[in-house]
Amino acid sequence: MTVTLTHYLFLAMTLFTIGVIGVLTRRNILIILMSVELMLNSANLTLVAFSHYLADATGMIFVLFTMTVAAAEVGVGLAIVVTIFRNRETIDVGKMELLKH
């Protein structure tokens, strides 16, 4: 029995679901950002798996661009978190209900 595309799809689905549950259940904004990274990684895993089983390099190239976007997202996202923490002294998303402070 060899490892097939289906194995990778189910693994990526599991990781993506864990990420979704993390985003929906946690209130710490840092852990929410980490769950988003988890979902991006599961999507990357799907792209690489399809790329391998189709013998086509497009998926692997696309993963490079996904990583670029993830790096940009984390940079800006963490800068926003630091700014909010300076103004509010909290990183609980339940306490960030006002647009102005």
Q: How far is the CB of 49 from another protein (least distance, A)?
A: 6
First to last CA, the chain: 60
Please report whether residue 76 would count as binding another protein according to CB under 8 A: yes
Q: How far is the CB of 95 from another protein (least distance, A)?
A: 10
Q: How far is the CB of 9 from another protein (least distance, A)?
A: 6
Residues 31-50 that bind another protein (CB under 8 A): 31, 33-35, 37-38, 41, 44-45, 48-50
Using alpha carbons, list the distances in angstroms from residue 24 to 17, 21, 36, 47, 78. Answer: 11, 5, 11, 25, 19
DSSP label at residue 11: H
Please report whether residue 88 would count as binding another protein according to CB under 8 A: no
Distance CA 17, CA 20 (A): 5
Please report whether residue 98 would count as binding another protein according to CB under 8 A: no
Please report whether residue 22 would count as binding another protein according to CB under 8 A: yes
3-class SS at 96?
A: coil
